[in-house]
Every structure is written in C-alpha cells, then in structure tokens.
Amino acid sequence: MKEIHKNLHLALSTAAVLVVGATYGLHPDTFLPLFFDFNVTTTDLNHVFRAMMGSYFALGLYWGYSILFQKHWRGATYSVVFFMGGLAIGRLLSIFVDGIPSVAFTVGTILEILFVIWGCYNLKVYKKD
C-alpha cells in the first residue's frame, strides 16, 4: 500500500501531462480553438504546439518510467515540483497582471499548486526511500 501512495503523485502527474500534451499537439487546429481564443492556421503555430507536446510527453514518460524504476523516483518527483511550480507561478503572475482566467485555467492553476504541495510532501515523507 505504501508504494501506491508513494507513486500515485507521479502516476496522476504522468496522466495529466500526457493528456495536456496530446491536446496541444495531436491536432492543434482542432483542439486548441476549443480552449483558446485563436485558431491555429499556420505551419509555425502547429510546429510550436507539437514541440510543446513533445516536451510534455518526454516529462510524462520520465515520470511514468520512474514509477517502474524507483531509483529515479526522487528526481522525477523533483521535476514534477519544478515543472508544475513553474506553470503555477506563471499562472499566478498572469492572474495578478491580467486578471482571473476562465474556469478551466483556474482549475488548472489550483491543480498545479496541489501537485507542487503533494510532491514536496512526498519528498519529505519518503526521504529514506
């Protein structure tokens, strides 16, 4: 049971980042206009969003890999904390500068903050592993 609790953070982080990455990059011209107030109409925009998908997939695969190969658990957990923390800080800055975003992005901000807190908690609780 301890392993499930220890790895749940990474498993959910993996799932979240893979879904978001797929949303950004598989069909940016179809999915992104549903979430953002713009259309993806150029090759350059497709390129940018597919590159973002690649970086999200790389992180997600690393986090999933670290569940199977526990010697990477701590490094992967740190990377979740820094990645989600960076996203959350950017979003919080945007809230202060630009105002409150839509509900979906507000929920995203809250989830990113929770992943950071959960990751820090796990790093403290499982420091001997």
pLDDT confidence of residue 128 = 74
Question: Model's pTM, two decimal places?
Answer: 0.90
pLDDT confidence of residue 32 = 87
| pLDDT surpassing 70 at residue 77 | yes
| pLDDT surpassing 80 at residue 49 | yes
DSSP state of 42: S
- Say if residues 48 and 36 touch (Cβ distance below 8 Å): no
Q: Which long-range contacts (CB under 8 A, 24 or more apart) does 46-53 make?
A: 49/24, 49/25, 50/24, 50/25, 51/25, 52/21, 52/24, 52/25, 53/21, 53/22, 53/24, 53/25, 53/26
Q: What is the mean pLDDT of the chain?
A: 94
- Say if residues 77 and 119 touch (Cβ distance below 8 Å): yes
Lowest-confidence segment of 30-39, 62-71, 72-81, 96-105 by average pLDDT: 30-39
| pLDDT surpassing 70 at residue 129 | no
